[in-house]
Amino acid sequence: MTQESPKTQPLSHLDTQGQAQMVDVSAKVPTKREAVAVAQVRMQAATFEAIQAGNAPKGDVLGTARLAGIMAAKQTSQLIPLCHPLPLHKVEVQVMPDSQLPGYQIQASVTTKAETGVEMEALTAVSVAALTLYDMAKALEKSIQIESIRLLSKTGGKSGDYHLTEDDR
């Protein structure tokens, strides 16, 4: 999908005085919208092995991170100043082991039927899941790295569908 340059599009989050504002979406028709975001968490092999074996001092690292991501998606409008509160119909967060990193790949999929999209909810979900994974494992290692938080895809809405391509990675 080709998108217009930001220079040619009016900035909808600014009023005529250049002040930030929440966009009025009341005239838009609610449509089904979905967004998928990803992040990765890199760590030492020993830390990865301890988490996989269930030997982290704080307990269930992966379950806690997954639940934190779901909860975060539901709180996005409270965290990001100009985001609209949305009725979320589905939030799925997966925390998948990746021995090649070593670490974890995190993916969030968020679905709604609303006047605006859920990209920020998906990005917030993976971000907070990654931060929670760090928090739960920091007793094992302080140098854990959170990397590559990005939107993979979004569907629905006036701007159309978006899918990250290999060229964008």
153-168 tens-digit pLDDT: 999 988 889 999 877 7
- Give me the sign of the Cα torsion angle 153, 68, 84, 87: positive
Domain boundaries, the chain: 32-168
pLDDT of res. 2: 44
pLDDT value at 15 more than 90: no
pLDDT band of 169, cuts 50, 70, 90: low
pLDDT band of 4, cuts 50, 70, 90: very low
Active site residue 167: no
The answer to whether the beta carbons of residues 151 and 37 sit under 8 Å apart is yes
pLDDT value at 24 more than 80: no
pLDDT of res. 158: 83
Helix-helix angle 45-52:119-137, to 10 degrees: 100
Question: Cα 83–162–66 angle (5° rounding)?
Answer: 60
Q: What would the pLDDT profile of 100-142 be if each residue is shown by its tens digit? A: 999 999 999 999 999 888 999 999 999 999 999 999 999 999 9
Catalytic site residue from 15, 135, 167, 168: 135
**Locate tokens 């509160």: which residue?**
85
pLDDT of res. 1: 43
Q: What would the pLDDT profile of 35-93 be if each residue is shown by its tens digit? A: 999 999 999 999 999 999 999 999 999 999 999 999 999 999 999 998 999 999 999 99
CATH of 32-168, one of 3.40.50.150, 3.40.50.2300, 3.40.449.10, 3.30.70.640: 3.30.70.640
Which tokens belong to 65?
A: 């991170």
